[in-house]
């Protein structure tokens, strides 16, 4: 995916309500700067930020969910065709926990 110029820049508008004047500025947004700022918020506000960020990834999560659904449908069809392919949860978890160590 091509990176867009200034993709990590935020335009911030500051408003001086006493004078009704707005100021625009650009700031670089990095993971570290966002996390540092977020950790200064009260827990309830951090939850709101986290929720908003999660919602902003909804379309990407939906694509992953669709891929997972396809894989689950495929596995279900395999099991219906040949029930002997079924394995226990213990065997399944054992297989993948050993795989991580390799």
pLDDT in tens, 22-45: 555 555 678 888 888 889 999 999
User: pLDDT tens-digit profile of 59-99?
Assistant: 777 777 788 888 889 989 999 999 888 888 888 888 888 77
Q: Residue 53 pLDDT more than 80?
A: yes
More confident residue, 4 or 78: 78
- Assigned domain for 73 exists: yes
Number of domains in the chain: 1
Bridge pairing between strands 9-16 and 21-28: antiparallel
CA dist., res. 67 & res. 1, Å (int): 20
Considering the domain boundaries, does residue 3 fall inside one? no
Q: Is 21 helix (H, G, I), strand (E, B) or coil?
A: strand
| Domain around 19 | 9-101
Asked if the structure places residue 44 within a domain, the reply is: yes
* Residue 56 domain flag: yes
**Does the residue 2 lie in any domain?**
no
Per-residue confidence (pLDDT) for residue 26, from 0 to 100: 55
> What is residue 43's predicted lDDT score, i.e. its pLDDT?
93
């Amino acid at each position: 995916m091509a990176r867009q110029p200034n993709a990590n820049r935020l335009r911030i508008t500051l408003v001086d309500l006493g004078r009704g004047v707005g100021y625009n500025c650009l700031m670089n947004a990095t993971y570290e700067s966002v996390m540092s700022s977020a950790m200064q918020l009260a827990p309830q506000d951090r939850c709101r930020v986290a929720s908003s960020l999660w919602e902003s990834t909804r379309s990407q999560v939906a694509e992953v969910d669709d891929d997972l659904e396809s894989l689950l449908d495929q596995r279900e069809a395999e099991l219906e065709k040949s029930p002997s392919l079924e394995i226990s949860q213990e065997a399944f978890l054992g297989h993948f926990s050993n795989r991580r160590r390799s």
